[in-house]
Structure 1
Amino acid sequence: MKTAKFQLETLTCPSCIKKIEGTLSKMDGVENVKVLFHASKVKTQFDESTVQAEELKETIRKLGYPVLSTKVS
């Protein structure tokens, strides 16, 4: 199990939380998703044998939220 932290541009509305968490949590291999609204960060735990951090990043980007940086541990 890996953890990825994505730094986004500033989130502007609380509905962003549901949009990001809802979409990522439906992806195969994603165990946990938490959006930190005031910090504009997304933390996820995922199974790297099923999904990669780059796929998660691309999904966030497609939702309309530019990812400024990614940390995987």
Structure 2
Amino acid sequence: MQKIEHAVAHQDGVEKVKVLFNASKVKAEFDDTKTSAQELAGVVEKLGYTVDKVKEKELTKEA
């Protein structure tokens, strides 16, 4: 899962990313003025993985 962490971590605005392999989840903290959860899901999909749902609240850093 390092492949996913590496790809997402290198997106503009991403501050922190963690892949929870057993739960099949990716959690990320990012600046929502520079990227979005949908864009990060697209990065994961380009790696050949399927993204079932995106929870914006779980991905963005709370103010």
Q: Indicate the TM-score class for this superposition, using the shorter chain for normalisation.
A: 0.7 to 0.9
Give secondary structure in 1 for the equivalent of 2:17: strand
* Moved beyond 2 Å, runs of 4+: none
> Aligned partners of 2:44, 2:17: CA distance in 1, in Å?
12
> Aligned partners of 1:36, 1:67: CA distance in 2, in Å?
14
2:59 counterpart of 1:72? no
| TM-score, length of structure 1 as denominator length | 0.75
> Aligned partners of 1:69, 1:52: CA distance in 2, in Å?
14
| Offset at residue 72 of structure 1 (A) | 1.1
> Aligned partners of 1:70, 1:53: CA distance in 2, in Å?
7
- The answer for the alignment partner of 2:6 in structure 1 is 22
Unaligned runs of 5+ in 1: 1-16
| Offset at residue 57 of structure 1 (A) | 0.7
| Offset at residue 20 of structure 1 (A) | 0.2
Aligned residues: 57
Unaligned runs of 5+ in 2: 58-63
Q: CA RMSD in A?
A: 0.6
- The answer for the alignment partner of 2:42 in structure 1 is 58
More strand by percentage: 1
Name which structure has the greater RCO, CA cutoff 8 Å, separation 6+.
1
